Amino acid sequence: MKNIILYYNSLSLLKKNLLVPLIGIISILPFYFFILSNTMNMNSNMQEINLELIHLNECTFNNISILEKILNQLNSAVAAKELEWVANSEAHANEIKSNLQKHLQTDYGDDIKKVLDSFLDYYAFAKSVSTKLINSNYSYENISEDTELLVKKYNNIYEMFNALRLNIKDKIAQNMNSIYENSNSIISNGSYIFILWFSISISVTFFISRDFKFRINQIVQETREIASGDADFNKRLCIVSYDELGDVTKSINLFINKLHQEHEELVKAKKELKSLYVLDSLTKLYNRVKIDEIIDTELQRINRYTNNSVFSIILIDIDHFKSINDTYGHLAGDSVLEEFALILKNNARATDYVGRWGGEEFIIICVETDTHGSMAVAEKLRTAIDKFDFTTVGHKTASFGVASSTKGIDAKTILDNADKALYKAKNSGRNQVVNYSELP
């Protein structure tokens, strides 16, 4: 019996139907061509998914990820006042442009053309605004209007990418439904032949029908889950035969494998994007966005409780940093920033938040730390920097401004206090720590 089942599973759909001994040639041929036609339609739909839609779907995911990289790169360029970084984003923009142009000849050519035009318009405007921000030191006429328009353009292109992705998903769902309809058509429209068969022929046909239906329903259930976005990536269809439905099953498993891979890549990309959102790309310290969030959290905490909660802020500026870029070049300047950040991380406390405030300025948030404790932290860092031998430039120093929170203080005030203390330190000879509370 086992050998019979293995032989049956090795047969094609045509040969399985030929097992019915009492079906005449006239009845057999129409039934065969009917099944063959529907099977070809199913294979055609699967080929469209594998050859076009998967690549287009992958391209859309990649473009969304690259768009986020462009945004972060331009933001970093503005924060660091580096025009060269703005130009560096051109490579990512060209990658998106190339990805879209590859698919202009597909069924989605018109939609892709609109997305491409909108992206080029957004990117050109984003470069222009970033350049003006850097050149004007964050202040020029119509900055508010330009910023608002830039956000609208970004949101628009982001929504267009998502809309294109949803259209592709709908097309996949349509192809899967077509497979479902063709498969059911094989069963429903072919059932009328059953009445022509003798008892044994009907028994054999019933067995074949149940086999088809079981595997087709398995395919339909799995494809519906894929179309709805609920696919179990740890599950694969069981291939029990080598006929056309077995080929369809193999194609679906290949599609699930591809989706699984894309899902893993997307999860990885999300983690990287999350890291880019909170970390400075050069120093790997917290960026200004994250530091602002931490300060707001600390202010809410000390204003919520009636106990003596306190935190302190240390602003740090590398002394005579401009001379490094002028003398050794920007690459040497970047190297100093990286080494400087490493000194701060290695010598700050585990509970401190270390970030890059902008350019050669850094910031440390000392939670649950009063003026005395934060001054000790700052002095330890100053000493470590003073003793360090930087690559290429050798000895460098830094100036420190310290300010502590008080009940009811806001973010702007405590940052201004720390900045005033830093200003005093720089104007009093540099390479020293100044506490705001000690200023006259």
Q: How far apart (Å, rounded) are the C-alpha atoms in residues 276 and 59?
A: 21
Q: Is 425 helix (H, G, I), strand (E, B) or coil?
A: helix
Q: Are 66 and 92 in contact (CB under 8 A)?
A: yes
Q: How far apart (Å, rounded) are the C-alpha atoms in residues 205 and 242?
A: 19
Smallest CA-to-CA distance from 344 within 310, 320, 319, 380 is with: 380
39 Cβ neighbours under 8 A, 6+ residues apart = 13, 182, 186, 244, 245, 248
**Distances from the Cα of 226 to the Cα of 165, 219, 422, angstroms:** 14, 11, 58
Q: Are 42 and 248 in contact (CB under 8 A)?
A: yes
DSSP letter at 437? G
Assign residue 229 a region: left if phi > 0, alpha if psi is -120 to 50, beta otherwise?
Answer: left
Per-residue burial over 131-156, b = 16 or more CB atoms within 10 Å of its CB, e = otherwise: bbbbeeeeeeeeeeebeeebeebbee
Q: How far apart (Å, rounded) are the C-alpha atoms in residues 76 and 400?
A: 24
Q: How far apart (Å, rounded) are the C-alpha atoms in residues 163 and 243?
A: 37
Q: How far apart (Å, rounded) are the C-alpha atoms in residues 336 and 378?
A: 19
Query: Taking CA 241 as the corner, what is the angle to CA 235 and CA 243, rounded to the nearest 5 degrees?
Result: 115
Q: How far apart (Å, rounded) are the C-alpha atoms in residues 214 and 208?
A: 10
Q: How far apart (Å, rounded) are the C-alpha atoms in residues 396 and 360?
A: 12
Work out whether the CA dihedral 171, 243, 260, 47 comes out positive or negative: negative
Task: Compute the chain's Rg from CA coordinates.
Answer: 33
Outline where DSSP puts E strands in 213-336.
Answer: 311-318
Q: How far apart (Å, rounded) are the C-alpha atoms in residues 217 and 306?
A: 65
Q: How far apart (Å, rounded) are the C-alpha atoms in residues 84 and 94?
A: 17
DSSP letter at 12? -
Active-site amino acid positions: 360
